[in-house]
Homo-oligomer: A and B are copies of this chain.
Amino acid sequence: MPLQFIRSSLFASPKNLLRTLFLVTKLRSLAMGSYTASSQSSKLFFRQLFEKESSTYTYLLADVSHPDKPALLIDPVDKTVDRDLSLVKELGLKLIYALNTHVHADHITGTGLIKTKSPGVKSIISKASGSKADILVEPGDKVSFGDLFLEVRATPGHTSGCVTYVTGDGPDQPQPRMVFTGDALLIRGCGRTDFQIFTLPKDTLIYPAHDYKGFSVSTVEEEMLYNPRLTKNQETFKGIMENLNLAYPKMMGIAVPANMVCGLQDTTS
C-alpha cells in the first residue's frame, strides 16, 4: 500500500475528536496540578538530542540496570548518526534498536546508516507504514530493552502508518510515563493524532519528533488545555488544517523514498 499523507482530510474519526473535546472541557475546570521536573526511574537512562536543520528530536533510551545496558534510538537523523553513535559508545551502552515513528518527509532517517556502522542494530517501523525494516510493529506490540519496554500505539493521520511509542506501565517503568509522538502531536502546535495520546494519564510527558519554537517537552494535560488547534471545535479545527497553506516539504522527493527502506537507499548508492 502506498504511503498516504493525509493533509486535506485530517479526521479519522469525528467521534474521537468530540470525545477529546469533552475531555478538554472537563479538564479546563481542573487546576494545573500535574507538574513534574521529569520522569523518574532508577533503570532508565534518557537523552533528548536535536538536529537543527529539520528541527528534529532524536531520543536515546537505555536500561542501565541491565548488565548489557541495552539502548534504542527513536527517530535518528542521517546527519547526526555519528554524534549519536559516539554518545552511545561513550556511555557504554549497547544499541539494539533504531526506531522510527513514521516515514519522515523532511529528513532522511538515520536507521540505514546506523545499521551499516553498527551491524547488530535492528531497525523498527510500523507495518502500516508500508516500509521496509528488520521489525515491523503493530499496535499493542512491545519493544523491550532490558527490563524496560515501549508500547506501540497507532496514531495515524499525519501519515497512515504513524505510531506513538509509550513507556511501559508498571512499578519498574518510568513515572510519569513518557510518550514519543513523532509528528502526530507537536507541542502547542499539533500535527494530527487520532487522540490515542489524550487517553494517557494527564501527567504523561510528551516528546514530539520536532519543535520549531524551542520547546523540548510538554504534558498531556498542557496540550489538552493550550494546544491552539486541538482545543478548537471540529469546524474551526477543520478550517485551520485546511488553510495551513503549507509549502511542499523540501526534502519530500529525497527523504520519503529513502525512508521507505529505513534510510538504506542512501548508504548503498
Interface residues of A (CB under 8 A from B): 31-32, 35-41, 44-52, 55, 58, 62, 64, 80, 83, 87, 90-92, 174, 211, 213-217, 222, 225-226
Inter-chain contacts of A48 with B (CB < 8 A):
216-217
Tell me, in angstroms, the Cα distance from A39 to B36 when the chains sit together: 10
Give A238 Cβ to nearest chain B Cβ, in Å: 25
Q: Is the CB of A46 within 8 A of B50?
A: no
Tell me, in angstroms, the Cα distance from A87 to B213 when the chains sit together: 12
A-B contact pairs, 17 of them (CB 8 A): A32-B92, A35-B45, A35-B62, A36-B45, A37-B38, A37-B40, A37-B44, A37-B174, A40-B40, A47-B217, A50-B50, A50-B211, A51-B214, A52-B214, A58-B214, A83-B215, A90-B222
Q: Which residue of B lies closest to A219 (CB)?
A: B91
Partner of A37, one of B32, B39, B213, B216: B39
Q: Is the CB of B52 within 8 A of A46?
A: no
Tell me, in angstroms, the Cα distance from A37 to B48 when the chains sit together: 10
A41-B37 contact in complex given A80-B214, A91-B32, A222-B90, C-beta closer than 8 Å: yes
A92-B37 contact in complex given A214-B80, A214-B83, A216-B47, C-beta closer than 8 Å: no
Partner of A92, one of B31, B44, B58: B31
Tell me, in angstroms, the Cα distance from A37 to B47 when the chains sit together: 7
Q: Is the CB of B37 within 8 A of A46?
A: yes
Inter-chain contacts of A32 with B (CB < 8 A):
90-92
Q: Which residue of B lies closest to A34 (CB)?
A: B64
